[in-house]
Amino acid sequence: MNDNSTDLKHDGERALSRVTVIHTLGPSGTNLEKAAHHWLAERGTAGKVVLHAEVEDGLDAMAFDGTEAILACAVYPRLHDLVFMNLRRLEMVDSFILDTHDMVLAGRPDHAAMTTIVSHPAPSSLVAELGDVTLTSSNSLAAALCAAGQYDACVTTGAAAANEGLRLIENFGPVPMVFTLHVGRAFAGDSSSGAGIGQA
């Protein structure tokens, strides 16, 4: 039993050591980008982080040979779809807890109104009572849309707010978050792509 557990652990470590490219949510300044760089740095891997407009967009760009992965998080609204709609080509192989950037409510420096707010779905409840909340695909995009004048304020990361030159209205602080790594791989036994259904 112990030997089997040790073998499985070593197999898992070997699989993780092959990952050099992580696909995740952009634009720059998202919590997922931070977590992807953290994962690579913790493993001492000189890898590459590729940012996409949607987490799932990585599926169209990645190699399914064990060297590339998608990074998601536990509060990602469509995490269940990412897992169960891709059982034959993605395997969840790692998870870790990391503080997000500070989550903030921010607005343009010269604009005091806060009638319209834009937010990623996950943290939108932080401001549900403050105004008309529109949902968008990432915290960083929310900051960009606010900075462009499309909304009065946004829920975003402190990093994205600073990148866009936004003023801080409220700082909700960092959130300890579970991040999940999904490796693109071909499983033995699938005649079309070498894939079979991964083990639970």
- pLDDT, residue 14, reads 76
pLDDT surpassing 60 at residue 147: yes
Buried b / exposed e along 169-185 (16+ C-beta atoms within 10 A): beeeeebebebbbbbbb
Check: CB of residue 164 under 8 Å from CB of residue 147.
yes
What does DSSP say about strands 48-52 and 153-157: parallel, antiparallel, or unpaired?
unpaired
Query: Which of the pair, 8 or 134, is modelled with greater confidence?
Result: 134
The residue whose two tokens read 């998870």 is: 95
Could you tell me the pLDDT band of residue 10, with boundaries at 50, 70 and 90? low
Q: Structure tokens of 119?
A: 């937010």
d(CA 170, CA 154): 11
pLDDT surpassing 70 at residue 188: no
pLDDT surpassing 50 at residue 183: yes
- pLDDT, residue 131, reads 85
pLDDT, tens only, 99-118? 999 999 999 999 998 999 99
Check: CB of residue 91 under 8 Å from CB of residue 25.
no
8-state DSSP, 193: T
* pTM, full prediction: 0.85
Query: Which of the pair, 198 or 7, is modelled with greater confidence?
Result: 7
CA atoms within 13 A on the CB side of 169: 21
Query: Which backbone phi and psi does 106 adopt, to 5 degrees?
Result: -135, 160
